[in-house]
Amino acid sequence: MISYMKTAEDSEILSRDEYKKLTRAAWSKETHELSERLNLEFDVRNQRIELAKAVKTRRSELNLTQRALAKMIGVSTRDICHIETAKANPTLSTQVKLLSTLGLRLEITAQ
């Protein structure tokens, strides 16, 4: 059985953005800083996952083994494995070598 309880008139219900704005207004400076750091960590993780998917997909399309790709760019097979599972945080130069070898490119755009 599902029951509903009316807590406010429809016109009084806040949108998600309005709720966030009101909630964040009450946060301390430390909470805002923590939130920003957390958002940055999520962005970093999401970028690693995106890189991992692109590398694994393209390597498979080219019928390359992890070992062959590792030799081509001068890293270990373990490094390739960690990149493809989003466990590694490769340097920019390693990313460029990897993507160039796979015929991919790194794009930087404004958010």
Residue spans per domain, the chain: 30-101
- Domain at 30-101: CATH architecture: Orthogonal Bundle (1.10)
Distance CA 58, CA 51 (A): 11
| pLDDT tens, residue by residue, 5-34 | 555 555 578 788 888 888 888 888 898 899
> Which residue blocks in 62-91 are alpha helix, DSSP H?
66-73, 77-84
- Residue 53's SS3 state is helix
Place of tokens 């009450």: 26
Q: How open is the CA angle 57-102-47, to the nearest 5 degrees?
A: 60
| pLDDT tens, residue by residue, 43-96 | 999 999 999 999 999 999 999 999 999 999 999 999 999 999 999 999 999 999
